[in-house]
């Protein structure tokens, strides 16, 4: 019950925060792209949370714990949150003042890619029971090298980058896209720091890194 309460409170808090960050800068509740994004974000999030609660409550508990201990990772999380806040506010202001207009076809494509990235996110959590929001090596942790982890070393970050970059397009803001485009650079810092820790503390990771050459984008990086 404690886990359910914690998850529900964070879900509601997130919903309220996103609503405020979108509709207050937009100056209206009649922001159709804002409602579309809320639907695309929170309905799959709720469904995924229910599935995790039933099948893997321990994983859900780890995903709800976002307190980083390492200094570099705390900075990464802080910058990511800042991008999130500024990107939403800029997108809302963009709608309010009509600074830019994203074609409807682009909004639709971005919505599909957003859901696809959510599916990748869910698959990663299914494949990796050691996955947590903080950078750490857990007791008994083993290297996962199958499924998506056999293609890139960090499929979760691949999914989150796609998620973040699609957000401003769904919201109909090119200016918001410029803000969110900083996010992949932040993830590069997080990955480099994480891989250093994994190579030092996780048995078999050095060999895995040689086997799977690409971090988040096949044949590129």
pLDDT at residue 131, as a whole number: 63
Top CATH class, 2-61+70-132+140-211: mainly alpha
12-49 pLDDT, tens digit per residue, is 999 999 999 999 999 999 999 999 999 999 998 888 88
pLDDT at 189 over 90: no
Domain ranges of the chain: 2-61+70-132+140-211
Overall pTM surpassing 0.75 (yes/no): yes
- Separation of alpha carbons 168 and 88, rounded Å: 8
Q: How many CB atoms lie within 10 A of CB 170?
A: 26
Is 3's pLDDT higher than 80?
no
Taking only the tens place, the pLDDT of each residue in 96-152 is: 999 999 999 999 999 999 999 988 888 887 777 666 555 555 556 778 878 888 889
Residue of 221, 107, 84 whose CA lies nearest to 164:
84
List the one residue out of 35, 26, 28 whose CA is nearest residue 93. 26
Average pLDDT of every residue of the chain: 85
Q: Quick count: other Cβ atoms within 10 Å of Cβ 2?
A: 7
pLDDT 10s digits, 49-93: 887 777 777 766 766 665 666 666 778 788 888 999 999 999 999
């Amino acid at each position: 019950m404690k886990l359910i309460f914690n998850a529900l409170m964070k879900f509601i808090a997130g919903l309220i925060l996103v609503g405020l960050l979108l509709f207050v800068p937009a100056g209206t509740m009649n922001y159709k792209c804002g409602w579309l994004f809320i639907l695309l974000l929170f309905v799959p999030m709720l469904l995924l949370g229910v599935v995790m609660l039933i099948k893997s409550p321990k994983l859900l508990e780890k995903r709800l714990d976002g307190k980083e201990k390492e200094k570099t990772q705390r900075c990464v999380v802080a910058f990511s949150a800042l991008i999130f806040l500024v990107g939403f506010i800029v997108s809302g202001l963009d709608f309010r003042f009509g600074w830019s207009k994203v074609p409807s076809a682009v909004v639709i494509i971005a919505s599909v890619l957003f859901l696809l990235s959510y599916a990748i996110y869910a698959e990663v959590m299914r494949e990796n029971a050691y996955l947590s929001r903080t950078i750490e090596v857990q007791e008994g942790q083993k290297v996962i090298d199958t499924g998506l982890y056999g293609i890139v070393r960090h499929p979760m970050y691949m999914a989150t980058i796609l998620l973040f970059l699609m957000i401003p397009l769904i919201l109909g803001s090119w200016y918001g896209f410029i803000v969110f485009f900083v996010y992949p650079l932040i993830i590069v810092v997080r990955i480099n720091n994480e891989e250093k820790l994994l190579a030092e503390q996780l048995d078999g990771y050095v060999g895995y890194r040689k086997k799977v050459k690409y971090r988040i984008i096949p044949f590129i990086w």
